[in-house]
Amino acid sequence: MTAPASRVVLAGNVIADLVVDVPALPERGGDVIGTRTELYAGGGFNALTAARRLGAEAVYAGLHGTGPYGDLVRASLAAEGIGTVLDARSDGDTGFCVALVDDGGERTFVTSFGVDARMTPDEAATVSGAVRPGDLVQVSGYGLVMEVNGPLLAGIVAGLADDVRVCLDPGPLVADIPAGVLGPVLARTDWLSCNAREAGLMAGVAGPRAAAEVLRGRLRAGAGVLVRADKDGCWVAPPGSGDVVHVAGFAVDAVDSNGAGDAHVGAFLALLGRGVPAVEAARGANAAAALAVTRRGPATGPTRGELAEFVGARLAGALGLL
């Protein structure tokens, strides 16, 4: 009998994204006129959605507040069939992020956290108790950098059973995560997924291949590293001592890169949770991210059918999409 697919559980943050298209970023003290403005659920929602659309059971094990942003988050999660673990907090609203997307598809963020930055020990215990054997738990650097949440999340991760796999996406603020928080999480990480900039900061070496190899050597035995390289695909240092593998990307006309990394992480975890080997799962994640950047908005990961059509029958079969 085939084992059931692993759940993807986010021990992080889902916030509101206010996305503004601009011709170019303003100079310091300057101003530009936005050409389009949208309000979405964002943050970890993008990764959860990417996993859910590929058939994984997805669960949000983070905080959400009471107010317009919290209402948006809950409605968006429900619309995608994503479950929640914690009750809504009544002492404030969910935070938000302003994302400026320029004509080249590049994005720049400013984030303001709400109740999502104020986890309690009781909530941390609830999250720990909700994780099941076989789950894939994603942790984001956005949560680890928070003064209150960071130590609590590190404690959750450090206490997870061995039959739970942990994926760390350190995020742009990786250099600001306290060593006392990041260390225990890295010691329990099974998959480290980051972009080339983040990998370079963590490894202290240039180049995604070299960084992937260095970082694998800093993780526990049996852990792997995936370094995303945008249109160039990604580099995978598989568990063990095997060679670092370059997995080519897919050529597309990008219109919005907002959420591409999240789409990659979510797709990778969904495929990994279905038993797809790591390198093939990374190839599928490259395709999911490529499709995501051809669409406007942060949560633009493809469905199973869309991904299967995009990659063709041979790869779709290898990814278990058919």
In a domain, 108, yes or no: no
Q: Residue 65's domain spans which residues?
A: 9-14+43-95+124-318
Bridge partners, residue 236, by sequence: 226, 245
Phi, psi angles (nearest 5°) of residue 156: -60, -50
8 A C-beta contact, residue 120 and residue 166? no
User: Above 60 in pLDDT, residue 14?
Assistant: yes
Q: Does the pLDDT value for residue 107 go beyond 90?
A: no
Is 20 part of any domain? no
| pLDDT score for 200 | 96
Q: Per-residue pLDDT tens for 160-200?
A: 999 999 999 999 889 999 999 999 999 999 999 999 999 99
In the chain, which ranges are E strands?
A: 8-10, 14-21, 36-43, 58-60, 83-84, 96-101, 107-112, 136-140, 165-169, 191-195, 224-228, 234-237, 245-247
Supply 3's token pair.
């084992």
Looking at residue 189, its pLDDT comes to 98
pLDDT digits (tens, 9 = 90+) for 283-321: 999 999 999 999 987 789 999 999 999 999 999 999 999
Edge-to-edge strand order for the sheet containing 245-247?
A: 83-84, 58-60, 8-10, 136-140, 165-169, 191-195, 224-228, 234-237, 245-247
* Angle value at C-alpha 283, between 278 and 286, nearest 5 degrees: 125
Listed residue (240, 253, 246, 245) closest to 292, CA to CA: 253
Question: What's the pLDDT score for residue 237?
Answer: 97
In a domain, residue 109? The reply is: no
Give residue 1's pLDDT.
Answer: 37
Return the closest-CA partner of residue 136 out of 265, 293, 264. 265
What is the band of 104 on the pLDDT scale with cuts at 50, 70, 90?
A: confident
Give 96's strand partners: 16, 112
Residue 57 within any structural domain of the chain: yes
Residue 202 located in a structural domain = yes
Q: What is the pTM assigned to this prediction? A: 0.92
Residue 105 has a pLDDT of 74
Q: So what's the pLDDT on residue 2? A: 47
**Does residue 231 lie within any of the structural domains?**
yes
Q: How far apart are CA 222 and CA 220, in angstroms?
A: 6
Which residues have a Cβ under 8 Å from the Cβ of 132 and sit 6 or more positions away?
A: 7, 164
The mean pLDDT of the chain is: 94
- The tokens 């100079």 sit on which residue? 27
At 3 the pLDDT is: 55
Both tokens of 20, joined, read 């503004």
Rounded to whole angstroms, how far apart are CA atoms 267 and 171? 17
Q: What's the structural domain count of the chain?
A: 1
pLDDT in tens, 242-279: 899 999 999 999 887 877 899 999 999 999 999 999 99
How many CB atoms are closer than 10 A to CB 125? 13
- pLDDT in the model for residue 297: 73
Q: Is residue 251 in some structural domain?
A: yes
Q: Is residue 302 one of the residues assigned to a domain?
A: yes
Report the SS3 class of residue 266. helix
Q: For residue 255, which amino acid is it?
A: V
**Strands (DSSP E) found in 102-256:** 107-112, 136-140, 165-169, 191-195, 224-228, 234-237, 245-247
3-state secondary structure of 82: coil
CATH number (domain holding residue 72): 3.40.1190.20
Average pLDDT over residues 16-28: 93
